[in-house]
A and B are shown apart, each in its own frame.
Chain A
Amino acid sequence: MITETRTFFSILLICGLCLFGCDDFVEEVEVVDPTAEESGEDFQPIQFVTGVYGRHTDFSYAFSFLGITEIISDNADKGSAPTDTGADKDQLDGLTHTPSSVSIRGMWTQWYKTIGRASLAIEFTENFEEPIDESLRARLIGECKFLRALNYFWLVRTFGDVPLQDVDILTRAPVADVYAFIEQDLTEAIAALPEKSEYAPQDLGRATRGAAQALLAKAYLYQERWQDAADMANTVINSGEYDLEPDYATVWRAITENGVESIFELQGRGEIIAHGIQQYSSTQGARGPDGFGWGFNTPSEDLLNAFEDEGDAIRRDATIIFRGETLFDGRVINEGVENPRYNEKAYSSLNQGQADGDKNIRILRFAEILLIRAEALNELGQSGEALAPLNRVRSRVSLPDVTTTNQSELRMAIWKERRLELAMEHDRWYDLLRQGRAAEVMNALGLPFEVGKHELYPIPNDQLIQTPDLGQNPGW
């Protein structure tokens, strides 16, 4: 009996020892963790940088963007059918928008998500360990910084104090800090990016040194740092990279895409595989019989009058499609379309109302740099020198030179020039705010602009539900 028991225990002990000492039991199971690193795909930094550009092709640029940049202003009306509110475009048009208006939420989110992509792409590129051309690495980071700065610029001029996502998404940074961040990104981008002419042809459309300089000039303009704005604009003007297109009518057409006047634009492609800034052309296309769009963001009567008052037929006809008009490409606008005017700058010959259009949205072009220079010089008291860039813009559209050197008269002339030259180019509302004229202009049109409130858009409600400590803008 005892032997049996002993034998039994020996077996037991051996079994026990076998179990002990092998921690690798859990390693026998190969855990399949489908992370990106293990998915077998080898991602390169340039793909993530492309992703940052790609973020600018979202639908929000084809709709929400129109609402908060143009429809709200004196340049444009909601358009479309009276029953079609375009979600909240009627509110923006009537200045009755609220923190819950979806266009505001849409652009807030759009800009921050793009900033997020840019920051992640920068991080990925900086830490990328595989062999990569160092100049390419620097350029890619520069491109992301330009795009990040552009989106912060849009944010800060729309919402005022905004969180710097790279610092703390729960605290609003003062406007000055946001501009400092933008300037730092742009300064670094200027150092890293090639000039437009230095890019290989297949890279046409990427952020350039000139684009970064132009945006910096504009950022200075918004901060009323006149000398910096004038100098930076001058740098762009003297770079030899840019000039005005000879015919203003072509400035927003396919033939001038990425042309000599173009400093930075968002790229769209209409051919299959189509990839445009979504329905930018069709949301603004003529609505009704033979129509090709939804008819939103229509040039206002006030804008039409502004062209007429100036005798500016060239820019009027390049900016506005009229009922019954035969367009440059032969398309006839039916007399029965629902709205009297449509935005011609959004027009694309290829557009039949499809989802992805070919239109490139011009974000920065040379004419604006000339006007920035003019405005800055005038504010610096160098009104005489301001005339040259201003008149360069005017002479293209066969308007007589401005000759006054009275600073305030010249200021009004430059502002008017900005309105007509850059009409429907997504800057008007911010110009009015920047110039402190929004209340005067909007009230004159019978719109309820409230001083102390409408200078900034409200922080979107959904953001405040998530992070109530951010606080709302004054008056909202």
Chain B
Amino acid sequence: MKKNNQFLLILLFFTNVAVFSQSTITVSGVVSEVSGQPLPGASVVVQGTSIGTQTDFDGNYTLDNVLDNGTLVFSYIGYAPQEIAVNNRTVINASLQEDTQRLDEVVVVGYGEQKRSDITGAVVSVKSEEIVKLPTLTAVQAIQGKVAGVNIVANDAPGSTPTVIVRGVGTALAGRDPFYVVDGQPLQDIRSINPADIESIEFLKGASYANIYGIRAANGVILVTTKKGKEGKITFNFDSFFGLRSVLNRVEMANGEQYTQFFNEENAAIGGPQLQLNQRYDTDWYDELLQTGTVQSYNFSVSGASKKINYFLSYNFYDEEGILEDSRFSRGNIRSNNTFKLFDDKVRVIQNLNITYTNENPKGFDAFNTAFRQSPLVPVRYDNGRFGQSFYNETTGIVGFEGAEGDVIGRLNNAGNPVADVFFDDVNQNTTTLQGQITLEADITEYLTATGRFGATQGFLKRNEFEPIRQQWLNADPTRTVEQFEFERSDPDGDGIISTVFANNRFETRDEEFFRWNVEGFLTFDKSFGQHNLSATVGLSRENFGGREILEAEGFDVFDQPRLRNLNLRTSAFFDNTVTQEFNQSTNLQSYFARAEYDFAGKYFLRAVIRRDGTSDFITDENFFDNFPAFSLGWTLTEENFLKDNSVLNFLKVFGGWGQLGNANVPINVQQVNTDPDSGNQNYVFGPTQELIFGASFGSPVFPLQWEVTEEFEAGFDFAMLDRKLSGTFTYYDRNNTNAIINVQNTLNSAAEGDFLAQAAEVSNSGVEVLVNWRDRVGSDFTYNIGVNFSTNRNRVENVVPGFDGEVGGGLANGQITKRLQEGQPLFAWWLLEADGVWQNQEEIDNNASVGNARPGHLRYVDQNEDGVIDDRDKRFFDNYLPTFNYGVTIGAQYKNFDFSLDGFGVGGNKVYNGLANTRLQSVNISEEVFNSRWTGEGSTNSAPGADRDALASSFWLEDGDFFRINNITLGYTINNMGFLNRARLYFTAQNPFMFTDYSGFTPELNQSGTDAAGNPTFGNPRFGTGIELNAYPTTRTFILGLSVQI
């Protein structure tokens, strides 16, 4: 790159960079600490130009095109920058002094930035190196286990969003997701951001910092800052990786022989038919269902900066093939971030543009469930090519649909064929998201800056679903014929109506469009008066979001070929098309905010924030505006004389704060007056001719609902000691949702005729967060760091209006429930019968309290209230699915050109429910473990039920959800300055190679809570399936090979 050149780069919008040359020399040298230890990665820039480089691992640099009379600027984060005049020298060594006065690192805190050392609350910053270390679809997943107090629950299905819980779940019914902001712009979906584009992510955990986002901050705020071009030469980055993915923790199922034995034992107990011992098929459904998935990503970026412009342009393509055949997710992403510096850099125009498109073929998770249940004696396909179903000949006891005249052909169970389910599941979903923002920053005076911003996001979703009804009908029973299907389609009863059960196929198409925009302006004041440092921000913003239009159309008998699937081009006109349209009203949000930060000599810090939010969602209430105050204090003890010169403690700051946060994403009560045009119980008859008189009745009481308000107190300290080798943070937090909305199940003796919502409880979360890092160097070639984080969480429902708690949840889809919301318990704690051994004989059953139809071999349950009957009043609470502690370990090491990292994290104190095993219906398969541990007769075991068992929800199926997972082992090798390559790194990563858990199911990370109207999974709702394994996607293990090249 020795050319003195003019670069002309036509970037996506408008980028034009010019660099001119003069008489120059080449300068080289070493950058080191004062102690003499070299500083790798330090920046060396020729002042006033874009010419610059970074030091290599040994602190060496070489810089061409340096003006012989210029000045070099050496800088490194955490160190005071140094300027050295060149004076025609060709070797310039620099030694940098650690900046102990102020840590230079700047942290984004919302509507501005603050120096790391000035922070007086729990703000955790994660840098790009940490994010890209773990190749994932979303940045938050890469951070799993690294931020104390932020519990990230992964879901490994292609294209899924992890659930992020900041300091515990603080709400029963309101929104639970943190508020994401990217470069100051509210973000619709974290999946639209390419992790490689991210410079840093800040987690505003505590209320004193998060409250600047007012009504949407109650679940924590996550600020994403994307990359900008950096001063220095133009940089091209190319990163790609490829990985193979498989199930991490597969459950071994019973084989055909074991199944047969279990089946026969079960049927012997209830008097059903028996199976023959030798059967033709022995299918391992998970072998048939699962494949090795792949994941690949290609990322290209170009970036740099000149005096007038900083530019960054990137393109990413991510593609993932899931462990279910043909399940696929791919994403393309284009980002352009440019900063135009006008009027001597007094005015800056910053433009961000992000375009994301995804293409996805999701496959229903139900197949995992079905594979768990279907008998191994059933084949994937019969000889005639049809998919296998659970038919068996009850007369001969042979599995199959064949039989002699008079034989009874029955079904083993109601489970389907999981391979067929996946085969026929034909959904395609495309999305396009356009996100853009323009920011104007103007320095009015040296200490006063004005910022104005406009951003907008528009998204489109298109979903097509094709259901090959004819094929499914034929494959549901191998004896069915095409002639039968055609006969049914011919309107045999002549009523002119043909059921859609006999349509050839069903085609559904769905279009969604959403739009949101934000405009904001704020003034930032920043000035020092002697030792008094003052900064202040005032501003306002307006936002419009939540608007969505959905158009859905359904038709039958379209063409089979994907390209011809068209509702106007059908093969028959037997069935009408239907169209539905839905429009979600958007929300307007008007906000004002003010913030003042003061410190004296970097010792004493005082910070106060107020946010005022008004939302159109609550305009029918008298007060739809509310204020959210916060303040915090800090004291840097190491700035005091009594600690200033000590040699052990380098930095110690204590801080504490209090703040209020809102959550306006709440459900709203709708006043109901029930009427009925027919024989409803509002109506009555009066008069001699008994006329029907139409009446009315009130539904449930309608309490006015407001946003939820969370108050939080936190206190802690940051420290660094032993030459900053050891550093860390300790924080205590106590947050309380003061007016949580709960769904009140009407008590039988109340006036309410249905459930209703009421702001009738508090949900508290408290705990501690500890983060400790150790970094050191051994010799000149080896550096290492060890980080440990640990956090606790105590979740409680408190101060419930009497009689208003008791909502049950966690349904198992078989009529059983597993959870209950109760004062004094964690949110939706497990509420179950307590299993206590196994009935050994009928005499025991007769002489003790038992459930109806109890038989020897069934579980026996504790009669908690000793009333001689086992019923719901004998259920008791068993903790909750939320972990009470989380921890993570990060180990990194570098030796010469090798780098190594190992990350692991774990949770504990949580209980998870093995719904897959519990909700077993008669004659479905069991795991090998269940088979081996079963009761087989009096005295065999008292710990697990026999083949004949009930399906009641009980503590027997509740297991410890503790796990520790190594989620990353990476080994990399880096080459610097080889030919035209600035830097190249080859790495191998094992993602989730090991998991340590006693849980008997697939995964204890169970954040799926159900499915939405479109059939897509929903996550994290404490009331529903969260913590229950019913059809969760298993955790996967991935081996990745990657290459990063920088030119």
Q: When chains A and B are docked, how far (Å) is the Cα of A302 from the Cα of B371?
A: 60
The verdict on A383 contacting chain B, using a C-beta distance below 8 Å, is no
Are B450 and A12 in contact, CB atoms less than 8 angstroms apart? yes
B678 at the interface (CB under 8 A from A): yes
- Distance between Cα atoms of A36 and B542 in the complex (Å): 31
Fill in one digit per residue for A32-48: 1 if any B CB lies within 8 Å of its CB, else 0. Answer: 11111101010100111
B600 at the interface (CB under 8 A from A): no
Task: List B contacts of A51 (CB < 8 A).
Answer: 674, 681-682, 695-697
Contact of B685 with A32 in the complex, beta carbons under 8 Å:
no
Indicate if B585 sits at the interface (CB-CB under 8 A). Answer: yes
Pick from B747-755, B838-846, B969-977 the stretch touching chain A: B747-755
> Which of A203-211, A222-230, A316-324, A419-427 contacts the other chain?
A203-211
Asked if B806 is at the interface (CB within 8 A of a chain A CB), the reply is yes
Q: How many whole Å from A149's CB to the nearest CB in chain B? A: 16
- Residues in B neighbouring A91, C-beta threshold 8 A: none
A191 to B685 CA separation, bound complex (whole angstroms): 25
**Is A451 part of the binding interface, using a Cβ–Cβ cutoff of 8 Å?**
no
- Chain B residues with CB under 8 Å of A462's CB are 748, 872
* Bound Cα distance from A46 to B672, whole angstroms: 17
Within 8 A of A (CB), among B938-987: none
A267 at the interface (CB under 8 A from B): yes
B85 within 8 A of A: no
Contacts of B625 in A (CB 8 A): 23, 26
Q: Nearest-CB distance from A440 to chain B (Å)? A: 27
A31 CA to B614 CA, complexed, in Å: 13
Chain B neighbourhood of A16, CB < 8 A: 450, 452, 521
CB distance from B800 to the nearest CB of A (A): 12
Flag if B872 contacts A465 (CB, 8 Å): yes
B442 with A8: CB separation less than 8 A: yes
B590 to A20, Cβ gap below 8 A? no
Known contacts A31-B616, A116-B751, A204-B686; is-contact A58 B347 (Cβ 8 Å):
no
B673: which A residues are within 8 A, CB to CB?
A: 36, 39, 41, 43
Q: Which B residues are in CB contact (< 8 Å) with A358?
A: 690
**Given A5-B347, A19-B519, A26-B619, CB of A12 within 8 Å of CB of B696:** no
Determine if A113 is an interface residue (Cβ-Cβ < 8 Å). Answer: yes
A19 with B695: CB separation less than 8 A: no
Of B444, B624, B687, B806, the residue contacting A465 (CB under 8 A) is B806
- Beta-carbon contacts of B740-762 to A below 8 Å, as 1s and 0s? 00000101111111000000000
Contact (Cβ within 8 A) B751 A165: yes
Distance between Cα atoms of A202 and B688 in the complex (Å): 7
Contact A15 B521 (CB under 8 A): yes
Chain B residues whose C-beta falls within 8 Å of the C-beta of A108 in the assembled complex: 748-749
> Are A55 and B751 touching (Cβ within 8 A)?
no
Tell me if B540 is interfacial: C-beta within 8 Å of chain A: yes
Given contacts A25-B588, A98-B869, A112-B748, contact A54 B682 (CB under 8 A): yes
CB neighbours (8 Å) of B692 from chain A are: 269, 273, 275
Give the docked Cα–Cα distance between A214 and B586 (Å): 59
Number of residue pairs across A and B with beta carbons under 8 Å? Answer: 222
A51–chain B nearest beta-carbon distance, Å? 4
Q: Bound state CA distance, A48 and B519, in angstroms?
A: 49
**Which positions 649-690 of chain B face chain A at CB distance < 8 Å?**
668, 670-675, 678-688, 690
Chain A: interface residue total (CB-CB under 8 A): 85
List B720-770 residues whose CB lies under 8 Å from chain A.
745, 747-753
Residues of B within 8 A of A (CB-CB), count:
70
Bound Cα distance from A28 to B346, whole angstroms: 36
Is A234 an interface residue when CB atoms closer than 8 A count as contact? Answer: no
Given contacts A9-B450, A54-B697, A109-B748, contact A461 B871 (CB under 8 A): yes
Residues of A contacting B873 in the complex (Cβ-Cβ under 8 angstroms): 461, 464-465, 468
Pick from B589, B590, B679, B697: contact of A48, CB below 8 A: B697
Beyond the given A16-B452, A109-B748, could you list 15 further A-B residue pairs with CB under 8 A, ordered by the A residue number?
A5-B347, A5-B442, A19-B540, A29-B616, A31-B585, A32-B585, A35-B671, A50-B683, A54-B697, A116-B750, A116-B753, A268-B685, A269-B692, A463-B747, A465-B806
CA distance A360 to B450 in the complex (A): 79
- Proximity string of chain A (156-184) to chain B, C-beta cutoff 8 Å, 1 when within and 0 when not: 00000011010001100000000000000
CB proximity to A under 8 Å, residues B689-706: 690-698, 702
Q: Do residues A54 and B698 form an inter-chain contact, with CB atoms below 8 A?
A: no
A430 on the B face (CB < 8 A):
no
Do residues A202 and B620 form an inter-chain contact, with CB atoms below 8 A?
A: no
Q: Whole-angstrom distance between the alpha carbons of A191 and B614 in the complex?
A: 52
Measured CA separation A358–B679 after assembly (Å): 13
What 0/1 pattern do residues 884 to 909 of B give for CB contact below 8 A with A? Answer: 00000000000000000000000000
Please report the C-alpha to C-alpha distance between residue A21 and residue B278 in the assembled complex, in whole angstroms.
84
Q: Which residues of B contact A376 (CB under 8 A)?
A: none
> Per-residue CB proximity of A91-135 to B under 8 Å, as 1/0?
000000011100001001100110111011000100000000000
List of B residues within 8 angstroms of A105 by Cβ: 748
In the bound complex, CA of A118 to CA of B681 (Å): 14
Closest B residue to A258 by beta carbon equals B688
A467 contacts the other chain (CB 8 A): yes
Q: Does B803 contact A (CB under 8 A)?
A: yes
**Are A50 and B694 in contact (CB-based, < 8 A)?**
yes
Tell me if B751 and A36 are in contact (CB < 8 A). no
> How distant is A241 from chain B, measured CB to nearest CB, in Å?
16
Which among B586, B683, B685 is the interface contact of A205 at CB below 8 angstroms? B685
B680 surroundings in chain A (CB, below 8 A): 54
Residues of B within 8 A of A48 (CB): 695-698
* Selected contact of B872 from candidates A33, A162, A461, CB within 8 Å: A461
Given contacts A203-B686, A204-B686, A269-B692, contact A26 B679 (CB under 8 A): no
Contact B687 A204 (CB under 8 A): yes
Question: In this assembly, does B773 line the interface, its C-beta being within 8 Å of a C-beta of chain A?
Answer: no
Q: How far is the CB of B627 from chain A (nearest CB, A)?
A: 13
User: CA A36 – CA B672 in complex, angstroms?
Assistant: 6
Q: Tell me whether B825 is interfacial, beta carbon within 8 Å.
A: no
Q: Point out the residues of chain A lying under 8 angstroms from B587, CB to CB.
A: 29
User: Does the CB pair A115–B751 fall under 8 Å?
Assistant: yes
Nearest chain A residue, comparing its CB with the CB of B612: A23
A113 and B753 in contact (CB under 8 A), knowing A204-B688, A258-B688, A465-B872? Answer: yes
A274 contacts the other chain (CB 8 A)? yes
Chain A contacts for B442, CB-based, 8 A: 5, 8-9, 12
Complex Cα–Cα for A378 and B507 (A) = 80
How far is the CB of A95 from the nearest CB of chain B, in Å? 16
Q: How far is the CA of A8 from the CA of B343 in the complex (A)?
A: 11
Distance (Å) between the CB of A205 and the closest chain B CB?
5
Name which residue of chain B comes closest to A356, CB basis.
B679
B444 touches A9 (CB 8 A): yes
Nearest residue, chain B, Cβ from A117:
B697
Q: Which of B590, B668, B688 contacts A25 (CB 8 A)?
A: B590
Q: Which residue of B lies closest to A163 (CB)?
A: B749
For B691, the closest partner residue in chain A by CB is A202
Determine whether A213 belongs to the interface, using a CB cutoff of 8 Å to chain B.
no
B679 touches A274 (CB 8 A): yes
Contact check: which of B620, B672, B747, B748 meets A31 at CB < 8 Å?
B620
A120 — which chain B residues lie within 8 A by C-beta? 697-698, 751
Tell me, in angstroms, the Cα distance from A297 to B788 when the chains sit together. 72
Q: How many whole Å from A386's CB to the nearest CB in chain B?
A: 36
- Chain B contacts for A57, CB-based, 8 A: 679, 681, 683-684
Q: For residues 198 through 246 of chain A, which have their beta carbon under 8 Å from a beta carbon of chain B?
A: 201-206
Asked if B617 is an interface residue, CB under 8 A from chain A, the answer is yes
The answer to whether A117 and B452 have CB atoms under 8 Å apart is no
Known: A27-B616, A50-B683, A201-B687. A460 touches B748 (CB 8 A): yes
Closest chain-A Cβ to B829's Cβ sits at a distance in Å of 15
- B806 closest partner in A (C-beta): A466
Q: Are A169 and B747 in contact (CB under 8 A)?
A: yes
**What residues of chain B lie closer than 8 Å to A19, measured between beta carbons?**
519, 521, 540, 542
What separation, in Å, do the CA atoms of A19 and B625 have in the docked complex? 17
Report the Cα distance A170→B690, complex, angstroms. Answer: 39
Q: What are 14 A-B interface contacts by the 8 Å CB criterion?
A: A1-B343, A5-B343, A8-B347, A29-B585, A31-B617, A31-B620, A33-B670, A34-B670, A36-B673, A109-B749, A117-B697, A124-B698, A257-B690, A463-B748
